[in-house]
Structure 1
Amino acid sequence: MADKKKQKQCILDACRAALRIPAFCNDFDEEIADVIDAARSELVAGGVLPEKANDDSDGRIRLAIKVYVKANFGMDNPDADRFTKSFECMLTSMSGDSAYRTEPADE
């Protein structure tokens, strides 16, 4: 359980750095954590295995989460569309990769 909490803090730190928020400033941590959770949900909804979407040691997942956070954090973000498109491309790539995608249920 402590490792999972440490991993969550690590991705939070990585997202804070991606947003260019200093490490000592934790005023926005709750909002950033909510956006991280939303990113994971978007990955799963897009067809990525839940265990992969929650694997903070996977570079593709970490990058996708950071890009999603950069697209969805704050209000007046002139780069939001660009980051959203980038996230969508990453999601499409992962959902087409057998190492990341959920298999359709047999009917």
Structure 2
Amino acid sequence: MLESVKGALRVTSSDPVIVLEITDLIAGARMELIQAGVSIVNAANDEDPLIRRAIILYAKAHYGLDGPNAERFAESFESLKNHLSQAGDYRELV
């Protein structure tokens, strides 16, 4: 997932500080999905295209300080997160 997110962010650096920031963003996206009701198993599934898209949107919204499209990416992430949290195939079974 790290390489996919780095590619989406157009980051080629392997600087440990940058890699740590991106890794933290990936973990943050997963946690937001889980807190919204997506199961832990689904949130960890890097093969699922909707989970991948959600993580990339989250990273694009939160990476760097001056992203001109950050708000648009954040809104897209929220919309997808809401969809996933309501979809039966993605929800945490209670």
TM range, smaller chain: over 0.9
> CA shift at 1:80, angstroms?
1.0
Report the residue type matching 1:47 in the other structure. Answer: G
Aligned residue identity for 1:73: Y
What is aligned with 1:92?
82
Structure of greater relative contact order (alpha carbons < 8 Å, 6+ residues apart): 2
Partner of 2:54: 64
- 1:83 matched residue in structure 2: 73
Of the three residues 3, 19, 33, the one matched with 2:9 is 19
**Equivalent residue letter for 2:58:** Y
Unaligned runs of 5+ in 2: none
- Secondary structure of 1:89's match? helix
Structure 1: unaligned runs, 5 residues or longer? 1-10
Cα distance in 1 for residues equivalent to 2:61 and 2:52 = 14
Q: 1:20-69, CA deviations, whole angstroms, 9 ceiling, x for partnerless residues? A: 112xx212111000010000000001110011001111111011000100
Say yes or no: does 1:32 pair with 2:11.
no
TM-score (norm 2): 0.93
Which structure would you say has the larger Rg?
A: 1
SS in 1 for 2:45: coil
Overall identity of the aligned pairs, in %: 40
* Number of residue-to-residue matches in the alignment: 92
AA at the equivalent of 2:14: N
Over the residues paired in the alignment, what is the CA RMSD in angstroms? 0.9
